[in-house]
Amino acid sequence: MASRGGKSDGTDGAESDADLARRLDRLSRALEAERHEREEAERPTRTGGSDFALAFRLASEFVAGVLVGAALGWGLDHMAGTSPWGLIGFLLLGFAAGVLNVVRASSRMSSGATDGKGRSD
């Protein structure tokens, strides 16, 4: 009675099993190498548009602090009649708050990049 391979002796099965094991081992190594290459390629990198987005975010953090300070100072001047001292004082406080926000945001971004986690937000 003939086997599927066309040979009827028992030594054919042992050789084909060894051959299949070698092929499976090669395939496993190739799949692992491909998986490793994909993981490397999918790691988040900051290039091009994402750099622009980060710069825009930092600028908006700063501008928001200055505008909020100016609005609070103008409101205080309008209500208390102390023009322009409330505006000047709160504008300076808004400037300081904007700088502080930019420093905090940039340190969070840089610590997230060095940890290998990408952005921390």
Task: Kindly report, residue by residue over 67-114, the tens digit of the pLDDT.
Answer: 999 999 999 999 999 889 999 999 999 999 999 999 998 888 877 666
pTM of the predicted model, to two decimals? 0.52
Q: Give the range of the structural domain holding residue 62, as residue numbers without chain letter.
A: 49-114
Kindly state whether residues 63 and 108 are assigned to the same domain. Answer: yes
- In the predicted model, is pLDDT for residue 21 greater than 70? yes
Average pLDDT of the segment spanning 22-35: 92
* 1 DSSP 8-state letter: -
Which of 110, 97, 115, 9 lies closest to 54 in space, CA to CA? 110
Kindly state whether residues 25 and 75 are assigned to the same domain. Answer: no
Kindly state whether residues 89 and 103 are assigned to the same domain. Answer: yes
pLDDT of amino acid 18: 87
